[in-house]
Amino acid sequence: MRLLTLRTGNGTTKAVRQDGGTLTEIDGFANVGELLRTADWEATAAAAAGVTHPLEGADLDAVVPAPGKIICVGHNYRNHIKEMGREVPEHPTLFAKYAESLIGPNDDLALPQESDAVDWEAELAVVIGKKGRRIPEADAADHIAGYTVLNDVSMRDYQFRTIQWLQGKTWEKSTPFGPALVTKDEFTAGPLMTSEVDGEVQQSTPTGDLVFTPEFLVSYISTIITLNPGDVIATGTPGGVGHAQDPKRYLQEGQLLVTTIEGLGQLQNRVVKEA
DSSP element (H, E) containing 222? helix 214-224
Give CA–CA dist 243/134, Å, rounded. Answer: 36
Share of the chain above pLDDT 70, in %: 100
**Local confidence band at 48 (pLDDT 50, 70, 90 cut-offs):** very high
For residue range 177-222, list pLDDT tens digits in order.
999 999 999 999 899 999 999 999 999 999 999 999 999 999 999 9
**What residues contact residue 195 under an 8 Å CB cut-off, 6+ apart?**
120, 121, 122, 151, 201, 202, 203, 240, 257, 258, 259, 260
pLDDT of residue 78: 87
* pLDDT of the residue at 2: 98
pLDDT at 189: 85
Q: Hey, is 244 helix, strand or coil? A: helix
pLDDT of 269 over the 90 cut: yes
Tally DSSP H helices, then E strands, for the chain: 5, 18
Does residue 81 have a pLDDT over 90? no
pLDDT at 76: 94
CA 245 from centre of chain: 24
- Of 76-90, 94-108, 189-203, 218-232, which gets the smallest average pLDDT? 76-90
